[in-house]
Amino acid sequence: MPKSHSDSSQGLRPEFPAPPKVHWIVLMVALWAWKILVGMYAPLQYRVLLESLGGDAWAFYLCLWIKSLDDNAKSPLWCDLAVVVEMACAGFTVVAHPGLAVKSTIAALGFASAILGLVTIFKIQDDLERHYTEREPCGIYMSGVMTFFFSFLYFQAKLYPIAKAKQEFAARGLGANNLPID
């Protein structure tokens, strides 16, 4: 039996901000375009630093949105840590003739950055699943394998229909309770 749009006990709710309305393909093209532009125009010694900014900016933006959903969300803290460590690692790659100490620091920071990046994407997954099963139940489920391999593109593939549904119902003045998500 279909749920009523007036039943506010379940479903998407208008008091929570809609997710970023960006299709995952658009996000992928934007990230690729950023990498291509950096590859074409950035000086060689700054490429690693600049290439990482595109993904980091999206991760930071997504975590800011998650923080607006739940002040107790853990992903924004982990994202901040991952970005700071990644930027520190990329900053060291600018050194013209690195010695053993700098190379070791780059390797340690690179490893720490990779670990923190993985923790961040799984914390984002956890925060999204918790929000969309407890606060705005809409039956969202995220695969760990897909999260591992496609992270932000996968998140957008899940969030885009929610954003479209919230926008459609807001335009109709119906609120966003129990929105049908296809």
The answer to which of 61-65, 102-106, 178-182 has the lowest mean pLDDT is 178-182
pTM of the model: 0.85
The answer to which of 3-7, 51-55, 99-103 has the lowest mean pLDDT is 3-7
3-state secondary structure of 137: coil
pLDDT 10s digits, 75-98: 999 999 999 999 999 888 888 889
The pLDDT of residue 123 is above 50: yes
Contact 162, 20 (CB under 8 A): no
Closest CA to 42 of 90, 102, 105, 111: 90
Cα distances from 62 to residues 78, 105, 147, 157, 181, in angstroms, run 12, 29, 15, 13, 20
3-state secondary structure of 105: helix
How is residue 132 annotated by DSSP? I
